[in-house]
Amino acid sequence: MPDRKSVAAALKNQRIETPSWAYGNSGTRFKTFLQEGIPRDPFEKLDDAAQVHAFTGVAPSVALHIPWDRVDDYAALAEHATSLGLRLGAINPNTFQEDEYRLGSICNPDPAVREKALGHLLECVDIMDVTGSDALSLWFADGLNYPGQDSLAERQQRLSEALRVAYDRLGPDQRMLLEYKFFEPAFYATDVPDWGTSYAHCLDLGERAQVLVDTGHHAPGTNIEFIVAFLLGRGRLGGFHFNSRFYADDDLMVGAADPFQLFRIMHEIVRAGALSDSANVAFMLDQCHNLEPKIPALIRSVLNVQEATAKALLVDGDALAAAQRDGDVLGANAVLMDAYNTDVRPLLAEVREDMGIDPDPIAAYHRSGYAEKITATRKDGTPAGWGA
Segment 27 to 56, residues that bind a second copy, using CB under 8 A: 27-31, 33-34
Label the pairing between strands 135-138 and 143-144.
Answer: unpaired
Q: Does 336 bind a second copy (CB under 8 A)?
A: yes
Select from 123, 340, 349, 364 the one that contacts a second copy (CB under 8 A): 340
Nearer to a second copy, 129 or 194 (CB): 194
Label the pairing between strands 18-19 and 175-179.
Answer: unpaired
Count of CA atoms in the C-beta half-sphere (13 A) of 248 = 9
Contact region with a second copy (CB under 8 A), list: 51-59, 63-71, 79-87, 97-105: 97-105
Q: Does 205 bind a second copy (CB under 8 A)?
A: no
Q: Does 283 bind a second copy (CB under 8 A)?
A: no
Select from 229, 312, 313, 314 the one that contacts a second copy (CB under 8 A): 229
Select from 112, 168, 278, 291 the one that contacts a second copy (CB under 8 A): 291
Site residues for a second copy, 77-96, by CB under 8 A, read 96
- The alpha carbon of 236 is separated from its chain's Cα centroid by a whole number of angstroms, namely 16
Decide: 32 and 26 in contact? Cβ < 8 Å: yes
Select from 221, 277, 278, 380 the one that contacts a second copy (CB under 8 A): 221
Q: Does 13 bind a second copy (CB under 8 A)?
A: no
Instruction: Using alpha carbons, list the distances in angstroms from residue 187 to 97, 109, 144, 266, 267.
Output: 17, 18, 6, 31, 33
- The angle at the Cα of 264, spanning 258 to 267, to the nearest 5 degrees, equals 145
Q: Does 213 bind a second copy (CB under 8 A)?
A: no
Nearer to a second copy, 3 or 291 (CB): 291
Query: In the complex, what is the shortest distance from the CB of residue 78 to a second copy, in angstroms, rounded to a whole number?
Result: 28
Select from 64, 320, 347, 351 the one that contacts a second copy (CB under 8 A): 320
Q: Does 214 bind a second copy (CB under 8 A)?
A: no
Which residues are CB-neighbours of 104 under 8 A, at least 6 positions away?
113, 140, 141, 142, 143, 150, 155, 191
Instruction: Using alpha carbons, list the distances in angstroms from residue 304 to 17, 62, 146, 299, 361.
Output: 13, 18, 39, 9, 12
Select from 129, 161, 292, 350 the one that contacts a second copy (CB under 8 A): 292
Q: Residues 270, 273, 274, 276: what is their CA dihedral angle, to the nearest 10 degrees?
A: 110
Give the orientation angle of helix 4-13 with respect to helix 294-314, to 10 degrees. Answer: 150
Q: Does 276 bind a second copy (CB under 8 A)?
A: no
Q: Does 335 bind a second copy (CB under 8 A)?
A: yes
Nearer to a second copy, 128 or 335 (CB): 335
Nearer to a second copy, 134 or 268 (CB): 268
Instruction: Using the CB atoms, write b or e for 148-161: b if 16+ within 10 Å.
Output: eebeeeebbebbee
Select from 258, 280, 350, 385 the one that contacts a second copy (CB under 8 A): 258
Residue type, 386: W
Draw the binding track, 107-136, toward a second copy (x: CB under 8 A; -: no contact).
--xx--------------------------
Check the CA dihedral 262-263-269-272 and report its sign.
negative
Q: What does the alpha-carbon distance between residue 90 and residue 135 come to, in Å, rounded to a whole number?
A: 5
Q: Does 349 bind a second copy (CB under 8 A)?
A: no
Site residues for a second copy, 148-167, by CB under 8 A, read 148-153, 156-157
Select from 4, 12, 102, 379 the one that contacts a second copy (CB under 8 A): 102
Q: Does 223 bind a second copy (CB under 8 A)?
A: yes
Q: What does the alpha-carbon distance between residue 89 and residue 81 come to, in Å, rounded to a whole number?
A: 10
